[in-house]
Amino acid sequence: MTYVEGFVVAVPTANKEAYRKHAADAAPLFKEFGVARMVECWGDDVPDGKVNDLKGAVQAKPDETVVFSWFEYPDKQARDAANEKMMSDPRMASMGGEMPFDGKRMIIGGFDSIVDDRADGATGYVDGYVVPVPDGNKEAYRALAQKASEVFRDYGATRVVEAWADDVPDGKLTDYARAAHKKDGESVVYSWVEWPDKETRTAGWEKMMTDERMKHDPETNPFDGKRMIYGGFAPIVEA
Half-sphere exposure of 95 (CA within 13 A, CB side): 19
Question: Among 125, 84, 131, 127, which residue's Cα sits nearest to residue 111?
Answer: 131
Look at residue 197 and give its three-state secondary structure.
coil
Is 0.85 surpassed by the pTM of this model?
yes
Q: What is the DSSP string of 65-103?
A: EEEEEEEEESSHHHHHHHHHHHHH-HHHHHHHTT-SS-G
How far is the C-alpha of 100 from the C-alpha of 96, rounded, in Å?
Answer: 10
pLDDT digits (tens, 9 = 90+) for 5-61: 999 999 999 999 999 999 999 999 999 999 999 999 999 999 999 999 999 999 999
How far is the C-alpha of 220 from the C-alpha of 131, rounded, in Å?
Answer: 16
| CATH 3.40.50.720 fits domain 3-238 | no
pLDDT at 218: 77
Q: Where are the domains of the chain?
A: 3-238
The mean pLDDT of 71-96, rounded to a whole number, is 93
pLDDT digits (tens, 9 = 90+) for 142-157: 999 999 999 999 999 9
Q: How confident is the model at residue 216 (pLDDT cuts 50, 70, 90)?
A: confident
pLDDT digits (tens, 9 = 90+) for 164-191: 999 999 999 999 999 999 999 999 999 9
Beta strands in the chain (DSSP E): 3-12, 37-45, 64-73, 107-118, 125-134, 159-167, 186-195, 229-238
- pLDDT for 97 beyond 90: no
- The residues with which 238 forms a beta bridge, in sequence order, are 39
